[in-house]
Chains A and B, each alone.
Chain A
Amino acid sequence: MSGLADIATIVLVSAGALLFLAGALGLLRFPDTLSRLHAISKADNLGLGLIVLGLLPQMASLAGGLKLLCIWLLAQLSAATASQLLARAVHRDRADR
């Protein structure tokens, strides 16, 4: 049972790390702010989600798992807000020009 959980952890966390790598690559390589934002928000939401999901089987207690989920939700909320604000600023700059 614990072997299965370990495999799940390895697969999910690796997938999450890969998404973060892809997001970082997009952040560095994409030409404009909006597409960079698109790249990094995918990595943030899904990548972190996969890592949290992967770590869940390793948590000793229910409270620990709930804390992990809370971290993911809060990170989602702040990342989404930050992306919205950045995109808004880009939009305003374009309108000004």
Chain B
Amino acid sequence: MMLLFDIALVAGLLTLAVHVVREPDERSAIIAFLAFGLLLGLAWIRLAAPDVALTEIAIGGGGTGILLLRAEAAVRGRGKHEESVTRPGKLAIAVGCAAISAGLGLAVLSFASPAPTLAPAAAEGLSATGLGNPVTAVLLAYRALDTLLEKVVVLLALIGVWSLAPDAAWGGVPAVRSGEIPQPLAYLARILPPFGVVIGVYMFWVGADAPGGTFQAGTVLAAMWLLVMLAGLRSPPETAGLPLRLALAGGPILFLAIAFLGFAFADGFLAYPKALAKPLILAIEAALTLSVAAALAMLVAGPARRAPTR
């Protein structure tokens, strides 16, 4: 029974993937890509990786989807440009992508059975971190450097988006809402955020011991903030505003500060003193969640469009 479901899931994924590539209309392709992200999340659930599934659905499905849709809306109606890729060029890209997929497939299939795994080692060290979720332990203790760089990349992406602002509007307010706001949207924006904020905070908190974590929680919080801004209940903050900048940089700064303090109080860079491991990790996660939420929301809000008020 489950095999049937898995086959249907894989068939759906492959069909959607081909559809996304082949669809000539950008908007339809993006919507199909959103559906692809949701299906991929289901596939991760089937692979018993709920942490990855949550991230895939939140970022791959929701976050990337809305970014792409807004980008498409921004360039729509500017006239179709000449296709910059020629037919042989497209063919080369297709062959390259297919070769990479085939190579990855081959690599996965040729794994020794049972596959080499670090899972027992990860589970063994778990008690030293005070955490219950081995995924969080990997992200914030064993491989904390990767996580730190990941969050900095999100900030860099935001700087890239902000730098698209016209000179006069630099530091000003992004334009999120467009035109008249439908009543149902305003209603949803009043009802949903209380639930969403609770769910987001819960996802961060439970991440220490169960699936969940900073990125997933940050995405949910960002979505709630965006909903409020889209419905015009609150205007977006000035991109030069100190509270916003602090929220954005706070997570990575705290992470870095604790990382350097590791030299003085623990074994070195990014090492936690054993007694304080869990509280420190939770503090970092809290600050990172806020930073991720602010960064994702601001990424979607886009570059500043109105000049700052000063």
For B192, the chain A residues whose CB sits under 8 A away are 74, 77-78
Decide if B191 touches A84 in the complex (CB within 8 Å). Answer: no
B77 within 8 A of A: no
Q: Do A77 and B191 touch (CB < 8 A)?
A: yes
* A45 to B184 CA separation, bound complex (whole angstroms): 17
Dominant secondary structure of chain A at its interface with chain B: helix
Which residues 72-97 of A have a CB within 8 angstroms of B?
Answer: 74, 77-78, 80-81, 84-85, 88
A70 vs B195: C-alpha distance in the bound complex, in angstroms?
Answer: 10
CA–CA, A88 and B185, complex, Å: 11
Residues on the A chain within 8 Å of B104, using CB: none
Chain B 245-263 near chain A by CB (<8 Å), digits 1 or 0? 0000000000000000000
Q: A88 touching B182 by the CB < 8 A rule?
A: yes
Contact between B195 and A84, CB atoms less than 8 A apart: no
The interface size of chain B toward A, counting residues with CB under 8 Å, comes to: 8
Contact B185 A81 (CB under 8 A): yes
Q: How far is the CB of B250 from chain A (nearest CB, A)?
A: 30
Contacts of A78 in B (CB 8 A): 188, 192
CA distance A47 to B187 in the complex (A): 24
Shortest Cβ distance from residue A79 to the other chain B in the assembled complex, whole angstroms = 11
List residues of chain A with CB within 8 A of the CB of B191. Answer: 77
Chain A residues near B187 (CB-CB < 8 A):
81
Q: With a CB–CB cut-off of 8 A, which chain A residues contact B195?
A: 70, 74
Q: With A and B bound together, what is the CA distance between A55 and B192 in angstroms?
A: 24
CB distance from B58 to the nearest CB of A (A): 15
Contacts of A88 in B (CB 8 A): 182, 184
Give residues 36-92 of A contacting B (CB, 8 Å).
70, 74, 77-78, 80-81, 84-85, 88
Assembled-state Cα–Cα distance A67/B78 (Å): 46
- Distance of A84 Cα from B188 Cα, bound (Å): 11
Question: Nearest-CB distance from B57 to chain A (Å)?
Answer: 14
Distance (Å) between the CB of B248 and the closest chain A CB? 28
Measured between beta carbons, the chain B residues less than 8 angstroms from A81 are 184-185, 187-188
Report the bound CA distance from A58 to B90 in whole Å. Answer: 52
Q: Which of B183-213 contact A (CB under 8 A)?
A: 184-185, 187-188, 191-192, 195
**In the complex, which residues 152-207 of chain B have their Cβ closer than 8 Å to any Cβ of chain A?**
182, 184-185, 187-188, 191-192, 195
Q: Which of A74, A81, A85 has the most CB of B within 10 A?
A: A81
Nearest A-chain residue to B184, judged by Cβ: A84
Is the CB–CB distance between A77 and B182 below 8 Å? no
Cα distance A88–B191 in the bound complex, in angstroms: 20
Shortest distance from the beta carbon of A14 to any chain B beta carbon, whole Å: 15
In the complex, chain A residues whose CB is within 8 Å of the CB of B188: 77-78, 81
CA distance A57 to B145 in the complex (A): 46
- B62-83 near A? 1/0 per residue, CB < 8 Å: 0000000000000000000000
Compute how far the CA of A80 lies from the CA of B182 in the bound complex, rounded to whole angstroms. Answer: 13
Question: Within 8 Å CB of B182, what residues of A?
Answer: 84-85, 88
A79 to B279, CA, bound (A): 40
6 A-B pairs within 8 Å (CB atoms) are namely A74-B192, A81-B188, A84-B182, A84-B184, A85-B184, A85-B185
Q: Using a CB–CB distance below 8 Å, which chain B residues touch chain A?
A: 182, 184-185, 187-188, 191-192, 195
- In order of increasing CB-CB distance, the 10 nearest A-B pairs are A84-B184, A81-B188, A81-B184, A88-B182, A85-B182, A85-B185, A85-B184, A77-B191, A74-B195, A81-B185
12 additional A-B residue pairs with CB within 8 Å, beyond A77-B188, A80-B184, A84-B184:
A70-B195, A74-B192, A74-B195, A77-B192, A78-B192, A81-B187, A81-B188, A84-B182, A85-B182, A85-B184, A85-B185, A88-B184
